């Protein structure tokens, strides 16, 4: 059996020391950037975020500006995507609608993520009756079709609250009660969060159940660490990998649900811009003026697919088994 000389051993040790080491996050970033579909999705979402932040400042026209002499015109150099039945520029309305979509996707996902992580962690860590009760609520919520539940809650709350605002204005003459635009957003945020949190709760509960019996968790219990501290410092950080992937899917789903509610007339109401309301306005004219529906429908589809690409890329990058 051949033996290595001291010089060969020293050379191999030098090569080992010179070999660059990568952390888990550096390795995940490398795999993420190698996924072409994920990179394409990130570029699309970057443009979407840019439009949401700066769209109102770079839009060629005011999204509410009407011009009867230019109604129902096709794409041109003056109106890149044409005009609608009221003479409003479709491209400008798409840019303003991007802000609505971004707000709904971000705030709804944050609220539902907070509820899901809190309840799922409590259910998986505490177990027993707490777990049974939380999962009972989760199963009931998930058993109802999401869009139907959102319609029910939004419709049940919207008109009574609007009527109460009208009564308060008649009693006080305070102009605050006339501006109910923010009320649409609050109802949409709450409604969509109500139907989205169960998925996060079930996901985080499964992660907690798999992590809860790890040796380092038992060691933390043995030295007297409190349960809230264990959940906050050990369980939740180690269970967030799959949740990060689910968040991207949830943001795309929130945009689709908000557009569906606005399309049905119970979501974000005019004069706020929404891609769903643009689809509803063009429903009776799409056979003769297809550009009215193609622009918002294609935008919703592209953004949703981009979220899917990014979610799949994150799943591949954050999954240690992919290495």
141: Cβ contacts below 8 Å, ≥ 6 apart = 149, 194, 195, 197, 198
Length of the chain: 323
Is pLDDT above 60 for 8?
no
24: Cβ contacts below 8 Å, ≥ 6 apart = 320
* The 3-state secondary structure of 258-299, one letter per residue: HHHHHHCCCCCCCCCCCHHHHHHHCCCCCCCCCHHHHHHHHH
Burial class (CB in 10 A: 0-12, 13-18, 19+), 294: middle
**Residue that wins the pLDDT comparison between 165 and 276:** 276
Is pLDDT above 80 for 84?
yes
Is pLDDT above 60 for 292?
yes
Q: Which range, of 28-32, 91-95, 196-200, averages the lowest pLDDT?
A: 28-32
CA angle 291/295/185 to nearest 5° reads: 130
Within 10 A of 11 (CB to CB), how many other CB atoms are there? 12
Confirm if 254 and 261 have CB atoms less than 8 A apart. Answer: no
Report the run of H or E that residue 170 belongs to, with start and end.
Answer: helix 146-172
Confirm if 258 and 273 have CB atoms less than 8 A apart. Answer: no
Residue 16's pLDDT band (cuts 50, 70, 90): very low
pLDDT digits (tens, 9 = 90+) for 146-195: 878 888 887 787 778 878 888 888 888 877 777 667 777 778 888 888 88
C-alpha–C-alpha distance, residues 44 and 165, integer Å:
40
Query: What number is the average pLDDT over the span 271-276?
Result: 83
Per the omega criterion (within 30 degrees of 0), is the bond before 194 cis? no
Within 10 A of 240 (CB to CB), how many other CB atoms are there? 17
> Which candidate, 135, 201, 13, 256, places its Cα nearest to that of 5?
13
**Residue that wins the pLDDT comparison between 315 and 261:** 261
The structural domains of the chain, ordered by start, are 36-322 (1.10.3720.10)
Confirm if 158 and 80 have CB atoms less than 8 A apart. Answer: no
Report the run of H or E that residue 257 belongs to, with start and end.
Answer: helix 236-263
């Amino acid at each position: 059996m051949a033996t290595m000389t001291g010089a060969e051993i020293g050379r191999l040790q030098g090569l080992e020391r010179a070999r660059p080491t990568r952390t888990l996050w550096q390795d995940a970033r490398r795999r993420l950037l190698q996924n072409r579909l994920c990179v394409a999705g990130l570029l699309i979402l970057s443009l979407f975020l840019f439009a949401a932040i700066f769209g109102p400042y770079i839009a060629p026209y005011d999204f509410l500006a009407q011009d009867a002499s230019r109604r129902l015109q096709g794409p041109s150099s003056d109106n890149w995507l044409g005009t609608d039945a009221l003479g409003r520029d479709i491209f400008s309305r798409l840019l303003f609608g991007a802000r609505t979509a971004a707000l709904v996707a971000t705030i709804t996902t944050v609220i539902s993520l907070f509820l899901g992580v809190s309840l799922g962690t409590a259910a998986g860590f505490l177990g027993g009756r707490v777990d049974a009760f939380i999962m009972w609520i989760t199963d009931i919520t998930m058993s109802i079709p999401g869009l139907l539940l959102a319609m029910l809650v939004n419709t049940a709350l919207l008109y009574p609250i609007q009527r109460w605002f009208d009564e308060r204005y008649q009693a006080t003459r305070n102009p605050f009660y006339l501006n109910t635009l923010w009320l649409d957003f609050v109802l949409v945020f709450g409604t969509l969060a109500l139907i989205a949190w169960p998925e996060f709760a079930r996901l985080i509960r499964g992660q907690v159940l798999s992590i809860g019996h790890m040796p380092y968790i038992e060691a933390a219990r043995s030295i007297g660490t409190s349960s809230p501290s264990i959940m906050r410092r050990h369980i939740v950080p180690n269970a967030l990998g799959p949740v990060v992937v689910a968040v991207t899917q949830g943001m795309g789903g929130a945009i689709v649900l908000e557009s569906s509610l606005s399309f049905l007339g119970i979501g974000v109401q005019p004069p706020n811009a929404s891609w769903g309301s643009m689809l509803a306005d063009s429903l009776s004219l799409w056979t003769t003026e297809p550009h009215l529906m193609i622009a918002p429908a294609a935008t919703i589809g592209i953004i949703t697919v981009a979220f899917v690409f990014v979610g799949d890329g994150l799943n591949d990058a954050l999954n240690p088994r992919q290495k």
